[in-house]
Structures are given as structure tokens and as C-alpha cells.
């Protein structure tokens, strides 16, 4: 998989994606990237417990460099915003939204062989979102999951007392009867930058509330899960990084919030 990331990236397909998105690589970028703040400037410092990016809680392994944190934050934010632009924020058509999300990540240089939603069977009569996300993450966290699960748990616990972060997470589900929640720890795997994505999608008879701390009767839900690991071709991302930054500068206040350490 890692060899494929480095050796077989389709640069022509990347160019076509950005051209179709109105971000042609052959056209000089205007200074749209000058903005109030950037995902990268907040993430690279390491002074946060993680970031809220759309409906995802993203955490960074301390071994990552500032540049690698920037790559993760900017590319995930770009994919979140592109998927919403193509599909709207209504997650009733979850399959289409994630298809566009995956296309955007792929155009940024991320590779993953498959990301398919399947039924999730809760082992309890009540389902709590953050616990279910950790359960899904454990299935892909490798032979020593304690570190990554611990990073996610700290971020969840910190976010619970972060009013602005909570507001952003809840805004993605509160108006809908369907909600999607992602836990994304970022680390190095064999020296290569990787993200592990654990995703939970809920469909309910009632409106979704309380974000990652929502507790629901399992019998009242349809629950789906997806999980996978993505690797990135960093050279491919650097080729489009200025376009990504220009794009996310437009509306990122509605999508990004660092989780402040206590």
C-alpha cells in the first residue's frame, strides 16, 4: 500500500479534480489565503489537545512534525468543505457525501483502498457516540492501540468542556435526523504520515443532539460504521497546497476549532 502511495499517484487526475473545482493548477492563485486564521497555524503549534474539523475530532501523535500536522489539518478541512459544497450539509445521503469527501482527499494525495459503511451492532441497549467511535477505532489501531485510543479519549474529555468546540460539532447534527461522527488520530506508520479514520453514521426517528455525547436507545437507531487507514503522498499534496489553503480560507470559521488544552 505504501509503495503505491509513493509510486503510482495519478497527477493528471489530481489536476483534473482541481480544474473541475475551479482551482486550476495552471492559473495563478489570488491572495485568497490571507485570512483571520488557518487550520495549520493553530494545529502545528502542538498547544491543543486536537482539532474539531467539521464533524471530526482530529488528534495528532506528538511524533509528528509541525509540517505534518499542517498537512493533515489543511487537507481534512479541504475535504470536509468540498463535500459540503457538492452535497450540502444534510447527511441523509451519507454515501454521496463520503464519496465526495474521499475524492477530495484522494486529490490531496491521500490513498485508501476502501471505505465502506456496514451495519454496526451495539453491544448495549444504549449507544453513546464517543464510546462507539472508540470501539470502531480499536479495530484498526494495530497491535498496540493504547496510545491512539488514549489520545482520542483525552480529546473527547477536553472537548466536553470546550463550549465553542461543542457548538461546532453539534451544528453538524442538531438540525438533522441523521448524524455522522469521525474520530481521526494521525501518526506515522513505518515513517509515513497516516490517518486512522473511525466513522459512525446514525439515522434516528428524532433530531440528533449532544454531538459525541449523545446517548440513544439502540432500538431507535439505524447505525452504520466505517473504518480505514489512509496514507499520503506528501509531494502530491505540496503540489496543490496553495490551492487548498486558498479554498479553505473562505469559510473555515464554520468548520474548524482547536480543542484547547485544560
- pLDDT tens column, 179-195: 788 999 999 998 999 99
Could you give the C-alpha distances from 106 to 63, 80, 81, 172, 237, in angstroms and in order? 24, 13, 14, 23, 10
Residue 226 pairs with which residues in a beta bridge?
Answer: 199
Does 43 score more than 70 pLDDT? no
- Is the pLDDT score of 42 beyond 60? no
Contact 70/108 with Cβ under 8 angstroms?
no
pLDDT at 224 over 80: yes
8 Å CB contact between 58 and 29: no
Q: What residues contact residue 145 under an 8 Å CB cut-off, 6+ apart?
A: 137, 138
Judging by DSSP bridges, how do beta strands 221-232 and 118-119 pair with one another?
antiparallel
Evaluate whether 17 touches 107 at the Cβ level (below 8 Å): yes
The DSSP bridge pattern shows strands 178-189 and 56-60 to be parallel
| pLDDT tier, 203 (very low <50, low <70, confident <90, very high otherwise) | confident
In this predicted model, which residue has the larger pLDDT, 115 or 149?
149
Q: pLDDT higher for 190 or 203?
A: 190
DSSP 212: G
Greater pLDDT, 170 or 30: 170
pLDDT score at 89: 63
The pLDDT value recorded for residue 29 is 41
**Cα separation, 258 vs 260, whole angstroms:** 6
Looking at residue 256, what is its pLDDT?
Answer: 82
The 10s digit of each residue's pLDDT in 234-260 is 999 999 999 999 888 756 667 887 777
Q: Are 3 and 192 in contact (CB under 8 A)?
A: no
Average pLDDT estimate for 34-51: 50
pLDDT at position 35 is 31
Q: How confident is the model at residue 104 (pLDDT cuts 50, 70, 90)?
A: very high
How far is C-alpha 136 from the geometric centre of its chain's CA atoms?
15
Whether 217 has a pLDDT exceeding 90, the answer reads: no
Alpha-carbon dihedral sign for residues 209, 223, 152, 5: negative
Total structural domains in the chain?
A: 1
Measure CA 127 to chain center. 22
Distance separating alpha carbons of residues 59 and 50, to the nearest angstrom:
4
Q: CB count, 10 Å around CB of 36?
A: 7
> What residues have CB less than 8 Å from 149, skipping those under 6 apart?
134, 137, 138, 141
Least confident range from 12-21, 26-35, 47-56, 144-153: namely 26-35
What's the domain range around 76? 2-260
Whether the per-residue pLDDT at 175 is higher than 80: the answer is: no
When the pLDDT of each residue in the chain is averaged and rounded to a whole number, the result is 79
pLDDT tens digits along 47-100:
566 888 988 899 999 999 999 999 999 999 999 999 988 887 666 677 888 899
Mean pLDDT of 24-41: 43
Amino acid at each position: 500500500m505504501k509503495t503505491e502511495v509513493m509510486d503510482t499517484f495519478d497527477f493528471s487526475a489530481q489536476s483534473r479534480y482541481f480544474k473541475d473545482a475551479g482551482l486550476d493548477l495552471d492559473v495563478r492563485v489570488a491572495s485568497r489565503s490571507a485570512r483571520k486564521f488557518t487550520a495549520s497555524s493553530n494545529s502545528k503549534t502542538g498547544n491543543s489537545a486536537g482539532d474539531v474539523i467539521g464533524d471530526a475530532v482530529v488528534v495528532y501523535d506528538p511524533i509528528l512534525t509541525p509540517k505534518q500536522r499542517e498537512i493533515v489539518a489543511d487537507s481534512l478541512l479541504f475535504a470536509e468543505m468540498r463535500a459540503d459544497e457538492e452535497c450540502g450539509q444534510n447527511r441523509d445521503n451519507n454515501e454521496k457525501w463520503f464519496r465526495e469527501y474521499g475524492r477530495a482527499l484522494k486529490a490531496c494525495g491521500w490513498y485508501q483502498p476502501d471505505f465502506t459503511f456496514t451495519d454496526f451492532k451495539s453491544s448495549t441497549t444504549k449507544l453513546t457516540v464517543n464510546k462507539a467511535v472508540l470501539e470502531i477505532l480499536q479495530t484498526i489501531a494495530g497491535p498496540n492501540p493504547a496510545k491512539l485510543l488514549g489520545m482520542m479519549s483525552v480529546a473527547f474529555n477536553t472537548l466536553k468542556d470546550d463550549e465553542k468546540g461543542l457548538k461546532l460539532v453539534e451544528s453538524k447534527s442538531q438540525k438533522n435526523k441523521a448524524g455522522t461522527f469521525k474520530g481521526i488520530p494521525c501518526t506515522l506508520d513505518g515513517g509515513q504520515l497516516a490517518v486512522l479514520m473511525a466513522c459512525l453514521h446514525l439515522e434516528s426517528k428524532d433530531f440528533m443532539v449532544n454531538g459525541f455525547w449523545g446517548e440513544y436507545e439502540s432500538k431507535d437507531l439505524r447505525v452504520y460504521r466505517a473504518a480505514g487507514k489512509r496514507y499520503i503522498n506528501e509531494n502530491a499534496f505540496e503540489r496543490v497546497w496553495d490551492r487548498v489553503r486558498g479554498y479553505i480560507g473562505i469559510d473555515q470559521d464554520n468548520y474548524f476549532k482547536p480543542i484547547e488544552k485544560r
